[in-house]
Structure 1
Amino acid sequence: MEKLSNVAGLSSNDQELPAEFIRPEAEVPVVDFGDPESLVRAVYEASSKWGLFQIVNHSISKEVIEHLQRVGRQFFELPNEEKMAYAKDPESKNIDGYGSRHRNGWVDHLFNKIWPPNVVEYRFWPKNPSDYRYFCLILILAWNL
């Protein structure tokens, strides 16, 4: 099967997503931050099998999440050249930055560590959309309240 250049490109061109990119909602791992006894194991298992998970009971407001989703979508809709300005070095073990390899066939991703402050690499935080950095900082504040 031909590897797709990016998932956002498919949606912006009104193309139908290939079946390999569609997963039932119930299949995506859910990690409950309200259950501290199983938290570490749930994160480990979801990360090992999927490379992603949905977090529930995290106390971050719906408004902050919606803003982060919006700026995330806007980033992935940018031209590839602009996204590549934040590309991570494929030889590096650092997870920060934009890349095009992921588990389960997903090809677009942007990782930015936000905590603790000594590990944040702002050079990988996109300047466009212009409020991306702002809402990441809001997330950090919300998480630490």
Structure 2
Amino acid sequence: MASAQVLSERGLDRIPEDYVRPPEERPEVAHDSFSHRQNIPVIDLSESRPRSQIVKEISQACEGWGFFQVLNHGVPYELLQRIMDVGAQFLSLPVHEKQLYSCRPGIAASEGYGHRMLVQENQVLDWRDYFDHHTLPLARRNINNWPGKPPIYRHTIEEYSEQMKLLAQRLLSLISESLGLKPSYIQNAIGEPYQNISLNYYPPCPEPELTLGLQSHSDLGAITLLLQDDVGGLQVCVDDTWVAVQPLHGALVVNLADQVQILSNGRYKSIEHRAVVNRNRSRISIATFYDPGREVTISPAPELLSANNPATYNSVLFGDHVSAWYNKGPKGKKVLDSLAV
């Protein structure tokens, strides 16, 4: 099946059946305007603000939403603009040039350019193309696997990787503290981080009411940082209602992933989210996933457990969690739910 970008550029009136979601999974409203959006919590990370106030706001956001946006996060705005620009330049290359960097066929989560998140027969495809970069640890990084056009592409990804690592570590410290744990607790539990950076492209779609740019799921690892353009399309599921997230200039979206839900013994939640698409406009987002290594075992923090608050999740080897997610498909949060005691 051709990629979503190729199909969109052909000017089709209807999308192929491979992209049509079952009726119960289709978005209720085509995402053609800024209506039906509201902001998730917004947290100012300015160094001048009292840390105790930031910790309090993060606790409220993690308990109530599992998603929030951060401003004054320390990542240079010039870099945010530049990585979006180089991503757009790569996406504008001819198909045959992009395909030089294609993901390895039949291998889930392989690095490169692709349009199939899962490797399963009879799966419904997402209306999305992407490029997944393996950026940390450095032993995984091979910049020759990344596009050479435009010339600053590889350097920009490396620079962005470092900034995202620093921000993820800062946020995990604040999240640990908000749980009453040592600031270093979650980072120590994760160990040497594994980081992937995914460039996502959602082209215009002739039937946005029938498909999704990204199916409903929760993220696998510890924390995800998302940079998005002004088009919008991210939706989060809160109290069984899909809430569309208003893009905020200069902000990064933060969402908790499954391993923080386990570590917090369910106090903090990894929230289902999805991306809807637009009839007239394309959308670009860049997601940075900050995860444990596959050999790391994650358990509820003992400091959070008591006779009145027993463990609600079994320990899990992160590699097993990843394999189950890719083999079975996300299906919302069923993979995480299977770990419940």
TM-score interval (norm. to shorter):
0.5 to 0.7
1:84 paired to 2:108 = no
**Equivalent residues, number:** 129
Contact 2:4–2:127 (CA under 8 A) maintained in structure 1: no
Shift of 1:81: 0.4
Cross-structure match for 1:105 = 126
For residues 139 and 76 of structure 1, the distance between their equivalents in structure 2, rounded to whole angstroms, comes to: 18
1:72 paired to 2:96 = no
For residues 118 and 30 of structure 1, the distance between their equivalents in structure 2, rounded to whole angstroms, comes to: 36
1:60 paired to 2:81 = no
- Residue among 114, 119, 133 paired with 2:135: 114
Contact 1:97–1:112 (CA under 8 A) maintained in structure 2: yes
Q: After the TM superposition, which of the residue ranges 133-142 and 19-28 deviates more from structure 2? A: 19-28
Richer in helix (by share): 1
Letter in 2 for 1:113: H
Cross-structure match for 2:5 = 6
Contact 2:111–2:133 (CA under 8 A) maintained in structure 1: yes
Q: Using the aligned pairs only, state the percent identity.
A: 22
For residues 70 and 109 of structure 1, the distance between their equivalents in structure 2, rounded to whole angstroms, comes to: 15
Shift of 1:78: 0.3
1:87-131 per-residue CA deviation (whole Å, 9 max, x = no partner) reads: 001311234210023587323111112222122242431011111
DSSP 3-state at the match of 2:136: coil
Shift of 1:31: 9.7
Q: After the TM superposition, which of the residue ranges 20-29 and 81-90 deviates more from structure 2? A: 20-29
Contact 1:7–1:108 (CA under 8 A) maintained in structure 2: no
Cross-structure match for 1:49 = none
DSSP 3-state at the match of 1:82: helix
Question: What is the TM-score when the length of structure 2 is the normalising length?
Answer: 0.30
1:48-92 per-residue CA deviation (whole Å, 9 max, x = no partner) reads: xxxxxx963543121101000000000000001000011001311
Letter in 2 for 1:56: V
Judged with a 3 Å threshold, the aligned counterparts in structure 2 of structure 1 residues 143 and 81 are, in CA distance, closer, same or farther, namely: same
**Where do 1:124-143 residues align within 5 Å?**
124-143=145-164
Contact 1:127–1:133 (CA under 8 A) maintained in structure 2: yes
Shift of 1:28: 9.9
Dislocated runs of 4+, deviation >6 Å:
18-21, 27-32
Q: After the TM superposition, which of the residue ranges 97-106 and 68-77 deviates more from structure 2? A: 97-106
Contact 1:20–1:105 (CA under 8 A) maintained in structure 2: no
For residues 8 and 128 of structure 1, the distance between their equivalents in structure 2, rounded to whole angstroms, comes to: 23
1:38 paired to 2:62 = yes
Judged with a 3 Å threshold, the aligned counterparts in structure 2 of structure 1 residues 142 and 4 are, in CA distance, closer, same or farther, namely: closer
DSSP 3-state at the match of 1:112: strand
For residues 91 and 7 of structure 2, the distance between their equivalents in structure 1, rounded to whole angstroms, comes to: 6
Find the structure with the greater CA-based Rg: 2
Contact 1:5–1:107 (CA under 8 A) maintained in structure 2: yes
Shift of 1:142: 2.9
For residues 39 and 106 of structure 2, the distance between their equivalents in structure 1, rounded to whole angstroms, comes to: 29
For residues 42 and 8 of structure 1, the distance between their equivalents in structure 2, rounded to whole angstroms, comes to: 34
For residues 40 and 150 of structure 2, the distance between their equivalents in structure 1, rounded to whole angstroms, comes to: 29
For residues 73 and 113 of structure 1, the distance between their equivalents in structure 2, rounded to whole angstroms, comes to: 19
Cross-structure match for 2:281 = none
Please tell me the root mean square deviation across aligned C-alpha atoms, in Å.
4.4
DSSP 3-state at the match of 2:80: helix
Question: Runs of 5+ in structure 1 lacking a partner?
Answer: 44-53
